[in-house]
Structure 1
Amino acid sequence: MHDLSSLYFCRQVITDRIDYKGTSTFPPQSSSGMRVCVGWRQFLLFVTLVFFVTHFLSVLELHQNSNAKDSHQKKTRKFDHLVFGPAAGEGLPNRLQCKGIKALNKTHISSVFNISDTRGGDGVAFVTVFTVYNSSVDGRASDSSIVGKVLYNKVERSMAVLNTFINFIQMTMPQSNTIILTDPASSLPLKQNRVMVYPIQGEYSRNKLMLQRIRSYIAFLEEKLEEQSRKPGQISHFIFTDSDIAVVGDVGQIFSKYENFHLALTFRNNKQQPLNSGFIAVRGTPDGILRAKIFLEEVLNVYTSKYMKASRMLGDQLALAWVIKSHASFDAKEFSRHEAFLEEIGGASVLFLPCAVYNWTPPEGAGQFHGMPLDVKVVHFKGSRKRLMLESWNFLNSSSSSHDLSDMLCLILSSGRTKYDF
């Protein structure tokens, strides 16, 4: 019978001769057998230590994953009501200054004329691509949203954004027209004056909508070329935009201020995506329409050959940038400027307008954290800012308030950094 206190756990190891600085650590044989024995108490202590360390590391990893998940949830949290923060641009010259949602100075637009009295927009039509996805409605409460006192499902919410887009245009440029390019299968219940639904065949699925948008623009311009050949002399300029913008100034002035361009794009100081496709202006002359069509056909060709993996989003903007930058005479450093400039691109005279004025988005885009310029003309509610678009319109038209356009812009500036529910 062995005494437990004298038991050892032993193993056989083979050791090789090791010379360290010329000194033999082991006997001079090439190899030898050696028994290494460990007492059972030491062995149990070792096993316990390994278990403890393994358990501690597992708990630590779980805690880190939990913190990362909580952090991600906080970053992606979306609100179903407006959340206000400090307005960017405080103390900067030529920027809107706000105290809460009250403007301390006025934008150039509202200080020059009363929007309700302006006759701006003669000979200008806004063109947008829009369709409705009826399959998205399933009646669940989580798919419904309340804005003010109105409850919307997903389709109604999309239509509310479209109607607000039209309302801003008709308020700011009441003599302009709005044209909705859409899937012939879509039924759009639009009853406003100076609004026309223009069906164009195509692929309007969510994954191909940005691609279809360019195709629809091209098809529309082809139709206008044919119309002009039948009725020469009738000129109407076109501004192609996303439907989630608010026109807060007379953008039609660009056609008289800059007389020599065929089409206009908006730019920002962003190396990867310097051009935003949400605003494209086309001069309504036969030459302007033709050159704009040819330009967009080149963009479409680049889109389908190089950027189909980004067909749902960004592909059109990447294709636009490729077409512009591929011309040897173009200097990409121009995108770091803050003023409009003109360039010849493939036979078309292209006017580049700063996003900060003609396509301002809170808070995205280089330089836009520095506040809102006083001469801003277009506010783009892209991404998760659609609620802010509806809330802004309701705020401006509330019968119980005396807020003007500059106050509404302060509301946008103070709450535009937040992610909302739609």
Structure 2
Amino acid sequence: MGTWRGRRRPIFFFVLPLILFLPLIISVSKVYQNPSITQDLKRNDPKKSDHLVFGPAAGEGLPGRLQCQGLKAVNKIHSSRSYKGVQNRDDISFVTVYTVYNGSRESDSAKMNSKFSEVVTIGNNSYNKAERSMAILKAFIYFIQVSVPKSSVILLTDPSSEFTIRCEATILGIPGDYSRENLMLQRLKSYIAFLETRIQEHSSRLSSVHYIFTDSDIAVVDDLGHIFQKYPDFHVALTFRNNKDQPLNSGFIAVRGTPDGIYKAKVFLEEVVNVYSLKFLKASRMLGDQLALAWVVKSHLPSASVKFKRHEAFSHDLNGVSVLFLPCAMYNWTPPEGAGQFHGMPLDVQVVHFKGSRKRLMLESWSFYNSTSNMSDMLCLVLRSGRTKYDF
């Protein structure tokens, strides 16, 4: 009897959990067998969405901030076109580095090739990864054409890149290493090489052409010509924010188009590249340029961190180069990633930077503006866009 009972007890403990968990196993099986349920699960995945996620517009009730009712602006952004003398300004060229990565160069792995061919839909258009990149570049150019209609756009690229763009832009090949791991360093080197060509050609020009070096994921929402009129003495302009480790953003660098301005800008960027190569190559893929910029500025201006907290434009001589510091809140504003962050959008915003994972929002913004022709309403869409989990 004792032996019979000993054999029965293990069977009992095996059967009891099976009975208890059998309904759960069946329900899970039904979920995965039902396509509509699995689609709902994917749709509710917080990590990814196929549409904008709207929330309240940050800065409600605060003075000097854009106020919105839905996607309608209650007040309007301040236009710099009213600045005295801006109508008589010199020409401006926007310069950006752009290169093409195909599927094999991106990665040989099946995972990366699948990601490369992944298609997303924005409005009436569908894009794979390469098409999205080109669409963002076109939106960058379109915003410039609307806001600074008399300006030009120059694309610096790897001479081996093969791409065509049906927009008014000049493509200029600059030899170098444009691999993703080296792109931020190469971007600065391409800027320097471009400035060297301008120095050589400047003697044949009768008027000045000012240059604004930017990332290609920005939207210029107002005429930036007033910078060179309002601040007539700088050689180079940088944008700053109150950030201890990364106070300077390299996505916007303005250069005065005089012989002295171009030469001094080249000298300044060469110092940044030297510091980058010596100290920050380990951060070459993402942050090396910003860290190098901060190191150069702080080495010549120890009080820079204090000035960055004031959110006001200021100038300083850095080793013979007159550098103008402009607040990011106005010239390099980034859409918030959380409700209420940054206390809304300043009414004098000039540049919106869709950096990081905000690229989809840039395309959504251009599509919205293209259908409404109202920049302030478009900025309400940006301001209410909520967190960026929908972006790619």
* TM-score under structure 2 length normalisation: 0.82
Matched with 2:71 is 101
Give the partner amino acid of 2:153: T
Change (3 A) 1:96 1:110: farther
Matched with 1:129 is 97
Q: Is the 8 A contact 1:277 1:317 kept in 2?
A: yes
For the pair 1:201 / 2:175, whether they are aligned, the reply is: yes
Matched with 2:190 is 216
For the pair 1:277 / 2:245, whether they are aligned, the reply is: no
Paired with 2:114 and 2:101, the residues of 1 have a C-alpha distance of 14
Work out which of the residue numbers 332, 335, 341 in structure 1 matches 2:308.
Answer: 335
For the pair 1:90 / 2:64, whether they are aligned, the reply is: no
1:32-111 matched pairs, under 5 angstroms = 77-109=47-79
For the pair 1:413 / 2:387, whether they are aligned, the reply is: no
Change (3 A) 1:268 1:368: farther
**Aligned-pair CA distance for 1:78:** 2.9
Change (3 A) 1:278 1:368: farther
Give the partner amino acid of 2:177: E
Q: Which has the higher contact order (CA 8 A, sep 6+)?
A: 2
Q: Is the 8 A contact 2:238 2:253 kept in 1?
A: yes
Query: Helix, strand or coil for the counterpart of 2:225?
Result: helix
Give the partner amino acid of 1:371: G
1:303-322 matched pairs, under 5 angstroms = 303-322=276-295
1:388-407 matched pairs, under 5 angstroms = 388-398=361-371, 402=372, 404-407=374-377
Work out which of the residue numbers 313, 325, 328 in structure 1 matches 2:298.
Answer: 325
Work out which of the residue numbers 338, 342, 346 in structure 2 matches 1:369.
Answer: 342
Matched with 1:29 is none
**Aligned-pair CA distance for 1:368:** 5.6
Structure 2: gaps of 5 or more residues: 1-43, 107-111
1:134-283 matched pairs, under 5 angstroms = 134-135=102-103, 136=106, 138=113, 143-193=118-168, 195-229=169-203, 231-283=204-256
Structure 1: gaps of 5 or more residues: 1-73
Paired with 1:130 and 1:345, the residues of 2 have a C-alpha distance of 29
Give the partner amino acid of 2:91: G
Matched with 2:263 is 290
Paired with 2:233 and 2:82, the residues of 1 have a C-alpha distance of 26
**Aligned-pair CA distance for 1:332:** 2.0
Give the partner amino acid of 1:208: N
Paired with 2:385 and 2:191, the residues of 1 have a C-alpha distance of 33
Aligned length: 339
**Aligned-pair CA distance for 1:331:** 3.6
Query: Helix, strand or coil for the counterpart of 2:249?
Result: strand
Matched with 2:357 is 384
Paired with 1:126 and 1:203, the residues of 2 have a C-alpha distance of 22
Give the partner amino acid of 2:292: A
Give the partner amino acid of 1:215: K
Whichever structure has more helix as a proportion of its residues is 2
Matched with 2:29 is none
Q: Percent same amino acid among aligned pairs?
A: 64
Q: Is the 8 A contact 1:120 1:252 kept in 2?
A: no
What RMSD, in angstroms, separates the aligned Cα atoms of the two structures?
2.4
Segments of 4+ in structure 1 off by > 3 A? 110-113, 118-122, 136-142, 328-331
